[in-house]
Structure 1
Amino acid sequence: MLRVIEAFSGIGSQKKALDRINVPYEIVNTVEWDINAIIGYCAIHYGFEGLNEYDFLTKEDIVDQLSQYTLSNNGKDVLEPTKLRKMNIEILKRLLFSINRTRDLVSITDVRGEDIDENIDLLTYSFPCQDLSICSAWHGNNTGINRDAANRSGMLWEIERILLEMDRGARRLPRFLLMENVSNILARTHIGNFNEWIAILEGLGYYNKVYKLNANKFGIPQSRERVYMLSILAENQEGIEGRLDRYFSENNLDNYINTNKKKLSDIIKIDYSNEIYRREAEESTPNNTPSRMQIYLDNLKIYQSGRFTSEDAKTVTTKQDRNPNSGVIEYQSISENKAPYRNLTARECFLLMGFDEEDYNKLLHNDFMVTRGRNFFTKEKRLRMAGNSIVVNVLEEIFKQIIYIKNEILENN
């Protein structure tokens, strides 16, 4: 049984990957403060059976319980209690239900070492990338993971704090840690801080393997390069570290290629006889403005003149109606004054992140109305959930390595 904590859990790509490789596991806790991701995770992985048990609670009861947590409505800013009280009760009920169902510890800043179970096999942490990204640097922000920057990417150091609190309290550290973030963490601007983090982990007894992996080598037609660091609690035992050296020299995922890679035609929904796909295409077609035509000219043409013209989409981000984006699809809208293309739909973005269409349909099935004519899981929220996630297929291969190392190296030493 692999006992897991998903920090910065988002919509649970880690859980999805564990389901895929069919190993016994338990998600002991999630750690997520974005209410949209919290509810989205629950909608995809558990559903809301039993929600009616919360009907007996008044709005004030629910707000009182939620007020103990540090929450966010956008993944960036703290949600003030006064704004919590103004929310629709249906949102509040599902939020409280989801926190309880996923055993969410909510904000990483509120988690203490004593809150972490001592028998954790794997702690995953995909801390925010906004202050590390190339786009951020273009806008003059090079703060990255500086300790004193007080920014979103600095949440990395909350993981350090928790591990040090566990160590000082003589609590057993997680056997494995898995970090995921943008490849710019290895850039000259940030490598000093990253090396400091590696040194801290080594001081705690972790052996670290750093990968730079692209989703298009793992069966997904998306050019998305990310850095992953797998940390193994070897406790400076030379025998274990030597075996790990040999294992990674023979099983280096930098050299991995999935020969059964999906095609974009498996993911991009151009069968507009399907009314659902047609409606989603229409929703993703922008108005015909000069700025939108510039987007059309500047970006990758995924589908044009009746054929797919690219092998991979570009990196899926939290928005598609932007420049640059993941690529555009030639499309003739049924409405006037629309651009001659559409952006990727949220469904397509989910598929490009390695989720199944069934997962996306679960999100829609568990959607709910918050005001007249507006559902909770808006298109913008769904796109952000996908863009903030991790490609499931890459995690599958890393998790297979974890299982092997756990069974054959750590427990057979």
Structure 2
Amino acid sequence: MFRVIETFSGIGAQAKALERLGIKYEIVNTCDWDINAIIAYCRIHKGVIDVSACKEKTDEEIETFLRNTTLSLDGKKPISEYAFNRLTPEFRRLLYAAIKQTRNFVSITDVHGSDIYEGADLLTYSFPCQDLSLCGCWHGNKSGIARDAHNRSGMLWEVERILKEMHSANRQLPKFLVMENVTNILSTTHKRDFDDWKDTLVSMGYVNHIYRLNAKNFGVPQKRERAYMISVLCGGDSAKEALIDKYFSENNLEEDLIARRYRSRKFYLRDVLKLDYRKKCYREEANASQPNDTPSRVKIYQENDMLYDGRKINEIYVNTVTTKQDRNPNSGLITYDSGREGKSKWRYLTPRECFMLMGFDEYDYDAVISDNPEFKKNTRLLTNEKLIKMAGNSICVDVLEAIFKQLVEMNRLVSSDLNAYEFNGSEFHRDHA
């Protein structure tokens, strides 16, 4: 059994990758404070939110529990007292059930080393990138992951705090750590702070290896380059450290041929774009993704890739799926004329298409939107904008699959128990096409 703790779990790209691999795994805990992601994660990975499990709880008990957690409505700041008071009793119960069902720690600031399961195989952390990204720098935000910045990307140091608490208490640390973030974390601007973090991990017995990986090299029609750091717990054992160093030198995922060896599948834009508008949900989603015909949108039309011109799909690698499509640049446009007055003759990618470009299956998206809860009077929780944001904040599932295959191989390499994990098949499926 591969036991995993997902911090900054979002909609659960890590769990999705493990599911695809066929490995027997358990998500011991998740950790995310964004109410939207909490609901979406539970729907994707648990199928339904089982409210009946908390039927013995009174509304007052549920309110007390939620008030004692640090929740967020936008993933940026804690929910205000005013906004919390507007949450309906029914939605509070749904949220409580989702938190319990996914064993969600909620805010990482409230987690302690004593809370972390000893003997975990993997802890993942994909902390917020806003203060690291080039976009943030363009807006004057250059604080990055500085210890004293007290910003969103500084949540990295909460991971350090937790691991240090475990280490100081002689609690068993996770065998593997996997970090994902924007590649700007590797830039000269952030080098000192990132080196500080790497040195901390080395002092606790980890060996670190950094990848710059692009989703397009793993069978995904998206140009999405991200930094990944794999940390392997060797505990100062020089023989294990040498094995791990040799493994990475011989199985470098940054090399195209090796990336192809580890990828699980290859899919195309034709597998993603939902152009059959005879299907009601596709038509409604297309309408919701069709902007008004304004001067700024004309500029967007002129300067972005046309993915479908009304006759033929342009089979390219789309630009990175970000948290917003109504922007310039974006991931691409689709010719679309709904006949509605004042609308452009094109649309953006729909949330469904964004989810699929991140490696999720269409049924995952259907699960998320299967029941859009009313979280305050006359207001539904899941909007187009929130759904796209959740996709843009996620990690490409197919890249994680390749990384997780390597974790299992490395575990076998340094473990005396070569049958530590069971799989659906004797070997991972590898696409050599």
TM over 0.5: yes
**CA deviation string 1:166-222 (max 9, x = no partner):** 111111111100000001111111122111111111111101110000011111101
* Corresponding residue number in structure 1 for 2:68: 68
State the match for 1:384 in structure 2: 389
Aligned length: 413
Mapped contact 1:319–1:380 kept (Cα < 8 A): yes
In structure 2, the CA distance between the partners of 1:275 and 1:211, relative to structure 1 (3 Å rule), is same
Deviations for 1:103-154, whole angstroms, at most 9, x for unmatched residues?
1111111111111111111000000000011100111111111111110000
CA deviation after TM superposition for structure 1 residue 90, in Å: 2.4
Question: What is the DSSP-based 3-state SS (H/G/I as helix, E as strand, rest coil) of the residue aligned with 2:100?
Answer: helix
Alpha carbons 2:145, 2:190 under 8 Å: kept: yes
d(CA) in 2 for partners of 1:254, 1:160: 27
Matched residue, 1:134: 134
Gaps of 5+ in 1: none
Identity %: 51
Taking the aligned partners of 2:328 and 2:416, their CA distance within structure 1 comes to 50
Shift of 1:407: 2.1
Q: Which residue of 2 aligns with 1:280?
A: 285
Give the 3 Å change call, closer, same or farther, for CA 259–174 of structure 1 in structure 2: closer
Task: Tell whether the 8 Å contact from 1:67 to 1:81 is kept in structure 2 after alignment.
Answer: no
Partner of 2:318: 313
* d(CA) in 1 for partners of 2:63, 2:264: 51
Give the letter aligned to residue 47 of structure 1.
G
Give me the whole-angstrom Cα distance separating, in 1, the residues matched to 2:287 and 2:378.
18
SS of residue paired to 2:353:
helix
Letter of the 1:276 partner, please give it: C
SS at match of 1:307: coil
RMSD: 1.7
Q: Is the 8 A contact 2:359 2:396 kept in 1?
A: yes
**2:302 is the alignment partner of 1:297:** yes
SS in 2 for 1:179: strand
Instruction: Please give the secondary structure, in 2, of the residue aligned with 1:106.
Output: coil
Counterpart of 2:85 in structure 1 is 85
- One-letter amino acid of the structure 2 residue matched with residue 128 of structure 1: P
Distance 2:53 2:17 in 1: 31
1:297-376 equivalences in 2 (<5 Å): 297-370=302-375, 374-376=379-381
TM-score by length of 2: 0.92
In the alignment, is residue 168 of structure 1 matched against residue 173 of structure 2? Answer: no
Instruction: Report which structure shows greater RCO (CA 8 Å, sep ≥6).
Output: 2
In the TM superposition, what whole-angstrom CA distance separates every residue of 1:247-283 from its partner, at most 9, and x where no partner exists? 1122111111349521111101112222221111111
Cα deviation for residue 380 of structure 1 reads 1.4
Q: Deviations over 1:307-327 (max 9, x none)?
A: 223411110111111122111
Match of 1:265 among 257, 270, 293: 270
- The separation in 2 between residues aligned to 1:187 and 1:310, in whole angstroms, is 32
Q: Deviations over 1:44-101 (max 9, x none)?
A: 1113353134455443332111111111111011113443222122221111001111
Aligned to 1:221: 221
- Measure, in 2, the Cα distance between the counterparts of 1:4 and 1:120: 6
Distance 1:366 1:410, change over 3 A: farther
Q: Distance in 2 between matches of 1:259 and 1:41?
A: 23
| Contact 2:49–2:94, Cα closer than 8 Å, also in 1 | no
**Partners of 1:63 and 1:84 within 8 A in 2:** no
Cα pair distance change 1:365/1:305, threshold 3 Å = closer
- Write the distance in 1 (CA, Å) between the matches of 2:414 and 2:164: 25
Instruction: Give 2:38's aligned amino acid.
Output: I
